[in-house]
Amino acid sequence: MKGYVPPPRLVVSNEPQPITRSITITEGISVKDLAEKLGVRAKDLIARLLARGVFATINQTLDAELASEVARFFGADTNVITFEEQAAKEVSVTAASGEEGATEGVPRPPVVTIMGHVDHGKTTLLDSIRSTNVAEGEAGGITQHIGAYKVKILDEDSPAYGREIVFLDTPGHEAFTRMRARGAKSTDIVVLVVAADDGVMPQTLEAIDHAHAAEVPIIVAVNKIDKPEAMPDRVKKQLADRGLVPEEWGGSTVFVDVSAKKKTNLNLLMEMICLVADLQELKATPDRRASGVVLEAKLDRGRGPVATVLMQNGTLRTGDNFVVGNVYGKVRAMFDDRGAQLEEAPPSTPVEILGMEGLPQAGDQFVVVADRDKARGVSEYREQKAREAALAKSSRVSLEGLAEQIKTAGTKELNIILKADVGGSVEVLTDLLSKLSNDKVRLKVLRSGVGAITESDVLLASASNAIIIGFNVRPERKAQELAEQEKVDIRLHSIIYELQDEIKRAMSGLLEPTIKETYQGRAEVRETFRIPKVGTVAGCYVVDGAIKRDSEVRLLRDNMVVFKGKVGSLRRFKDDASEVRNGMECGISIANYGDVKVGDVIEAFVTERIAAEVIA
C-alpha cells in the first residue's frame, strides 16, 4: 500500500555482554524470576530464548543449563542451587532479620532406628518401650511397614526423666538403604538388637554394614537375656570380632543387656540413647518453616496419598504448602503415631500427612514453602526431569567403564559386594581382592557373605555404587530383576584365576567382554528316573522361559551351582523335543552327570563370543 511504513522489526543483538556480576538461581526457575534477577525486561529474555529456538511463556520453568547460558548472555555468572537449599537460605535470612522466629537452635529428641536379624525381638522391644502391642497386629508377627513412634521417659528416678526419643522400626534394611541411596540421613543413632540365645546372624552383619555406611553411632541391645540358654558374653565376643568392642572391654560401643518380654533394663537403654545423643549435640529451630524427610508413603483408598514424614527442623502446621520430591500439596490433616489428630508438629516428630497431589518416595526431602504456585512449578519441573532421567541411560559403575573413570578422576575407589558358596572362598577372595589395590584403584569389599545374591545385596550395591561378584552362586530371581532395574553390574565366576584376571584387566583398562551369557529359561526337577544305558533323567516342569536341546545348563541346589554342562537329551513324553516352553513338562538328562535330586533347578543359557570393545 502506498505510503505505508511497516513497523520496525524486533532486532535482538547477538553480541553477549561482558560478565560483570554473579546471581544465584534455583532449579526450575521461571522466565519471570530469571528476568527479575538479571534486571532485564521479561520480553527481552523471551526474545533471546526465541532466537535460540526455545518458545517460552513468562511463567514457564527453565532448565538450569539453559537459564545459565541465557544469564551469561546478559552478563551474569550463575550459581545453581536446589529448591531445598534456596528455602533453607530464605529461612536463615528471615531468622537473621528477626522477621520469623529468630530463636537459637534448641535441643531436639534423638531419632533412633532399631535394626537387627529377623525374630531377634526388635518390635517386641519397641512394644515394651511403648507399652502397646504392635506385633500381634502385624501379619504373621513380622513388621510389614515402617513404624515411627515418639516415646517419653516417664520413670521419675531416671536422670533422663521427661525426655523424648523417636523410634523408627524398619522392616529389615531395604527402607534404610533406599533412603540412604537418595542421600537422606534421617537417623541419629542405630540400636542393633541381637538375641543372646542366637548370636550374630547374617542380617545382624547387614545392619552393621548399613550403619557404618551411613556413619551413625551404634548402641547394641543384647535381648532375651532372661532365657536359660542366653550367652550375652558370646554375643559381645562375636561383635568385638566385627569391630564393635564393648566399653567394659576398652572399646567405644555401648552394650545394654535387655529383656523385651520381662521389661528388664529398658530405662537403662533409653538413658544410654539420651547420653549418646547428648554427645552429638542435636539441635533444631522450632520457629522456622518446617523441613523433614519422608519415611514411607502409601495410597489409602479413602484418604488418597498418605506420607509418614519425620520433621527434622521447624514446626509444621495444618494448612502449610509444601514440596516433597516431585510432588507438591497442602497439609489437610496430620496424625501422630497413635492416630490422634495434630494441629502442629515440632522438630523430631513423625506425622502422617494428608493433602499431597501425588505419591512421594521414601527418602524425599519435605520443605514448606510460602507460595503454592512456586511449589507447583518446582514439582512439575522435577516430574519432567524424572521422566527424562528414566528415559536416559543410567550411569551405574561397571567394570568396562572403570578405566574411563580412572582416566578422568585419578584415583578411583571400586566398591565390591562379594558372595560365595562357602566361607573358605569368601575369606580367600576378600584377601585376594584387598591385595589387588594399587595407587590408581582402591578395591573396597563393602560386604562379603555366603549364599545366593539377594535383593538386599543389590540394594546396597545400588546405594553405594558397587559391583557384585558372585563366586559359584547365582542371584535370586527377584534380585536379578532388581539388578536389571537398578542397572547394578553382577559378575559371576567359578574359577578364582578368571576372577582375578578380570579385576586386574579392569584396573589396567584392558577389560574385554569376550563371552556374553544369555539366560533362556529354568525348570524345576519334580521327579527323577533311572533308565538303563541312559542314566538319570529328571522329570521337570518349565517355570520360566524355554529349555532348548542345544542349551548349556547349570544345576542349582539352594541357589548354589552344583554342576555346569550341556543338555544330553530333551523329551516330551516319548518323543525327542527341540524346545520345551514355559508351563510344560519334560524329561531332561544332563550329559555326563547323574546326581540330580528332586527340588533342584535346571537353568538353561547360551554363551556367545562377542568382539572385544575398545576402551578409549
d(CA 266, CA 246): 18
Q: Is the pLDDT of residue 75 over 50?
A: yes
Under DSSP, is residue 27 helix (H, G, I), strand (E, B) or coil? Answer: coil
65: Cβ–Cβ under 8 A, 6 or more apart, which residues? Answer: none
Write the CATH number for 125.
Answer: 3.40.50.300
Is the same domain home to 125 and 271? yes
Copy the grid coordinates of residue 294. 519422608
Q: Is 420 in the same domain as 503? A: yes
Q: How far is CA 441 from the centre of its chain?
A: 25
Q: Give the pLDDT of residue 575.
A: 84
Domain range enclosing 447: 399-511
Specify the amino acid at residue 107: P
Answer yes or no: do 268 and 139 share one domain.
Answer: yes
Nearby residues of 369 by Cβ (< 8 Å), 6 or more positions away: 87, 289, 321, 322, 323, 375
Sheet holding 467-471, edge to edge: 441-450, 412-420, 467-471, 490-493
Domain boundary among 478, 511, 544: 511
Structure confidence at residue 510 (pLDDT):
45
The lowest-confidence range among 85-89, 243-247, 262-266, 521-525 is 85-89
Examine residue 406 and state whether it is found in any structural domain, yes or no.
yes
Could you tell me the CATH number of the domain that includes residue 601?
2.40.30.10
pLDDT at 143 (0 to 100): 40
Do 152 and 224 fall within a single domain?
A: yes
Does residue 414 share a domain with residue 325?
A: no
361 and 251 within one domain:
no
**Does 592 lie in the same domain as 506?**
no
Q: What is the pLDDT of residues 564-613, one digit of tens each?
A: 889 988 988 888 888 998 889 999 988 888 888 899 999 999 887 664 43
pLDDT at 611: 44
The DSSP symbol for 231 reads -
Backbone torsions φ then ψ of 481, nearest 5 degrees: -65, -40
Residue 429's domain is classified under what CATH number? 3.40.50.10050
Q: Which three cell numbers stand for residue 424?
A: 573358605
pTM reported for the whole predicted model? 0.56
Q: How far, rounded to the nearest angstrom, does the alpha carbon of residue 299 sit from its chain's CA centroid? A: 21
pLDDT at position 108 over 50: yes
Q: Are residues 475 and 540 in the same domain?
A: no
The single-letter DSSP state of residue 137 is G
Q: Same structural domain for residues 216 and 352?
A: no
The domain spanning residue 56 has which CATH number?
1.10.10
* 259 pLDDT more than 50: yes
DSSP designation for 458 = H
Contact 451, 422 (CB under 8 A): no
Handedness of CA 322, 326, 329, 331 (dihedral sign): negative
Mean pLDDT of 380-389: 73
pLDDT for the residue 587: 92
Q: What is the pLDDT of residue 286?
A: 81
Q: Where are the alpha helices (DSSP H) in 242-302?
A: 266-280
179 and 232 part of one domain: yes
Cα–Cα distances (Å) from 370 to 84, 177, 367, 373, in that order, read 13, 32, 10, 9
Residues 116 and 261 in one domain: yes
Q: What percent of the chain has pLDDT over 70?
A: 80
pLDDT digits (tens, 9 = 90+) for 272-281: 888 888 888 8
219 within 8 A of 247, measured Cβ to Cβ = no
Residues 20-63: tens digit of each pLDDT:
777 877 777 778 888 888 888 888 888 888 887 778 777 777 77
Residue after which a domain boundary falls, among 281, 311, 342? 281
- Distance, first Cα to last Cα, the chain: 65
How does DSSP classify residue 494? S
What's the grid cell of residue 501? 584376571
Q: Measuring CA to CA, which residue among 249, 197, 251 is closest to residue 223?
A: 197
Nearest-angstrom CA–CA distance, 329 and 326: 10
* Claim to verify: residue 125 and residue 229 sit in the same structural domain: yes
Residue 92 resides in a domain: no
Element housing 546 (H / E): strand 535-548
Contacts (Cβ under 8 Å, ≥6 apart) of 522: 542, 543, 544, 545, 601, 602, 603, 604
- Assigned domain for 16 exists: no
Out of 230, 247, 281, pick the residue that ends a domain. Answer: 281
Does residue 198 surpass a pLDDT of 90?
no
Higher pLDDT among residues 101 and 212, named by residue: 212
Nearest to 101 by CA among 287, 286, 283, 285: 287
DSSP label at 247? Answer: G
From the list 18, 14, 33, the residue with the least C-alpha distance to 76 is 18
Three-class SS state of 54: coil
Q: Give which of 486, 256, 287, 281 is closest to 368, Cα–Cα.
A: 287
Task: Specify the pLDDT at position 397.
Answer: 62
CA distance 119 to 137: 16
Cell 561397571 found at: 398
pLDDT, mean over the chain? 77
Residue 438 has a CB neighbour count (10 Å cut-off) of 12
SS3 304: strand
CB within 8 A of 329, min separation 6: which ones?
321, 322, 355, 356, 357, 375
Domain count within the chain: 5
Task: For helices 64-73 and 31-38, give the axis angle rounded to 10 degrees.
Answer: 30
Average pLDDT (75-103) is 61
In a domain, 382, yes or no: no
121: left (phi over 0), alpha (psi -120 to 50) or beta: left
Reply yes or no on whether the pLDDT at 541 is more than 90: yes
**Helix or strand holding residue 86 (H, E):** helix 83-97
- Name the band, by pLDDT with cuts 50, 70 and 90, for residue 97: very low
